[in-house]
């Protein structure tokens, strides 16, 4: 029974480079969430997957952000042409089903620093 | 969009004191979550509730749906309880697509 895992744990990149963040949810969890935690904005919701489908992508901060999920399991969050304001901790969470009264289990996060 | 307000923002107390952290929200919800984050650590779910009261060890969470208010209580506080406590809510539709909307957190320090 491993928990939610994320990789890398830390990522330092130069402005303008692309980065890919990975999330492995708890086995059997159908719902997966991406959140961002930054000093200025606190915790904010980015995107939700039910299975491989993301019904609403409007929470993504800009069109430089994209996310996908394959096989109902692993998800990747890609940030293209990174900017300094993208520096934050990116958190992934999963829950058994995609209903709001299910407990969400959080991963340890990926700390992204854009120089 | 729901607005989630927590108080106090910062709280320092002595070991053994009874702690109360408050959370209020602006529109109807289907569930309210209390989360804990230790310095440099990950986020752990403490409670999820949609009505009434839940208790786990020294932690108690209550919610009043009519008043749109929840409280987290810690009895016999201990230095290891020092952490940021975050209130979060999910939308009234019951679906997961809105994710969690978070309060700004309460930074709690328990001094020995």
Collect the ranges in chain B with pLDDT lower than 70: 92-98
Q: Which residue has the tokens 């607005």?
A: B3
Pair of tokens at residue A111: 């700390």
Contact list in A for residue B85 (CB cut-off 8 A) is: none
- The pLDDT of residue B94: 56
| A19, containing H or E segment | strand A19-24
- The pLDDT of residue B106: 97
Pair of tokens at residue B18: 């009874």
- Whether B43 has its CB under 8 Å from any CB of chain A: the answer is yes
Per-residue model confidence as pLDDT tens digits over B61-78 = 999 999 999 999 999 999
Distance from CA of B46 to the nearest CA of A (A): 9
Position A111 confidence tier, pLDDT thresholds 50, 70, 90: very high
Higher pLDDT, B97 or A9: A9
Contact list in A for residue B3 (CB cut-off 8 A) is: none
Cα–Cα distances (Å) from A75 to A29, A43, B76, in that order, read 12, 19, 41
Distance CA B102, CA B26 (A): 12
Q: What is the dihedral of CA A59, A61, A65, A66, to 10 degrees?
A: 10
- The pLDDT of residue A39: 84
- The pLDDT of residue B99: 85
Task: Give, as one character, the DSSP assignment of residue A53.
Answer: B
- The pLDDT of residue A100: 64
- The pLDDT of residue A1: 55
- The pLDDT of residue B103: 95
User: Quick one: CA dihedral A11, A95, B92, A70, positive or negative?
Assistant: positive
Position A7 confidence tier, pLDDT thresholds 50, 70, 90: very high
Contact list in B for residue A56 (CB cut-off 8 A) is: 97
Per-residue model confidence as pLDDT tens digits over A56-109 = 888 899 999 999 999 889 999 999 999 999 999 999 999 987 766 778 999 999
CB-CB contact of A78 with A18 (8 Å)? yes
- The pLDDT of residue B93: 63
């Amino acid at each position: 029974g491993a928990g939610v895992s994320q990789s890398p744990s830390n990522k330092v990149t130069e402005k303008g480079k692309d980065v890919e963040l990975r999330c492995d949810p708890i086995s059997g969890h159908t719902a997966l969430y991406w959140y961002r935690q930054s000093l200025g904005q606190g915790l904010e919701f980015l995107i939700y997957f039910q299975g491989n489908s993301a019904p609403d992508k409007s929470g993504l901060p800009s069109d430089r952000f994209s996310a996908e999920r394959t096989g109902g399991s692993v998800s990747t969050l890609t940030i293209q042409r990174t900017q300094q304001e993208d520096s934050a901790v990116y958190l992934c969470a999963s829950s058994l089903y995609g209903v709001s009264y299910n407990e969400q289990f959080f991963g340890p996060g990926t700390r992204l620093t854009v120089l | 969009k729901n607005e989630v307000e927590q108080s106090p923002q910062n709280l320092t107390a002595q070991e053994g004191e009874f702690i109360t952290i408050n959370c209020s929200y602006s529109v109807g919800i289907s569930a309210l979550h209390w989360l804990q984050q230790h310095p440099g650590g990950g986020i752990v779910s403490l409670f999820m509730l949609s009505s009434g009261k839940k208790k786990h060890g020294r932690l108690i969470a209550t919610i009043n749906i009519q008043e749109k208010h929840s409280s987290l209580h810690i009895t016999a506080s201990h230095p290891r309880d020092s952490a940021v406590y975050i209130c979060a809510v999910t939308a009234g539709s019951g679906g997961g697509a809105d994710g969690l909307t978070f309060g700004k957190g309460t930074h709690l320090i328990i001094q020995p």
